[in-house]
Amino acid sequence: MKQKGFKVGILFPDGDIKWLLYGARTKDGFVYGVSYADTHITALPDAKSVSFHLTDQKSKKWQHLGKIIKDGNYEDLQMKALNPRAIVDEDLDEQVVYITKRGMELLNQPSDILIETETDEERIFLLDLLSFFNNSKKMYVELSQNFRNLFGLCNAGEIFSNTEYEAGITSRETVVVEVERVLYEVDIKAYLDLANEENPLQEIIGPLGLLSLMPELDGRFNEVIEEKKDSLEKYSFYDS
């Protein structure tokens, strides 16, 4: 089955849609990039790998970014990035910031802010900005009125014993979670610092060209928001 194209955009409260990202099949592979940008990424598959290169659409010059091996064991890279460590008894008294199950639900915005549709040729993803505003306002109110039932301080061992606690965050910016009745400390900084050349995930991130696209995506997003700022002025997270 051939990979479908895609489009990612923002649905504004006035019904206007602004596109941010796109992907499309080609005769030889797949292209993707930022809408209306000067560059795009081309993915070219062969029997054993997928090769990626960055193309300047004006000059037609291109730069090879790398390749991903189809049968490569990239799960090992993810485990290396997370660097899981089973917590021993002497560390159970370490103070962490707990996040309750309800707190985690608030951090993970409800799925109704993302509208997904599909045609024979492509999948379309739209961020429903009005739903995002409404959910963010509800989140702000609940945080203001119910903070200690969402976040607070506890000992690491309580993440295991208190069923309402979903996870904990240490002073090292690592996360304490329970997995199959064992308490682990994992490091998510590699997923937050994708630009770090020493990031274990660079073997995947580099060829995909994600860092190459980020400046153009940032520029496109700011362009869209500036264009629509007048229609957004009446929306606020903090109004009652």
The Cβ-side half-sphere exposure at 93, using a 13 Å CA radius, reads 1
Dump pLDDT digits (tens) for 34-72.
999 999 999 999 989 999 999 998 888 999 999 998 887
Using 50, 70 and 90 to split pLDDT, how confident is the model at 240? very low
Structural domains counted in the chain: 1
Question: Amino acid identity of 231?
Answer: S
Q: Yes or no: say if 194 and 208 are a contact pair by the CB < 8 Å rule.
A: no
Instruction: Tell me which residue has tokens 């989140």.
Output: 139
29 and 44 Cβ atoms separated by less than 8 Å: yes
Q: Which residues span the domain enclosing 225?
A: 1-70+201-235
Tell me, yes or no, whether 229 lies in a domain.
Answer: yes
Pairing of strands 175-179, 165-169: antiparallel
- Establish if 78 belongs to a structural domain: no
Average pLDDT, the chain: 88
Distance (Å, whole) CA 209 – CA 72: 18
Residue 176 domain-assigned?
no
**pLDDT tens digits for range 155-214:** 999 998 898 999 999 999 899 999 888 899 999 888 878 777 778 888 888 899 988 899
Asked if 66 and 52 touch (Cβ cutoff 8 Å), the reply is yes
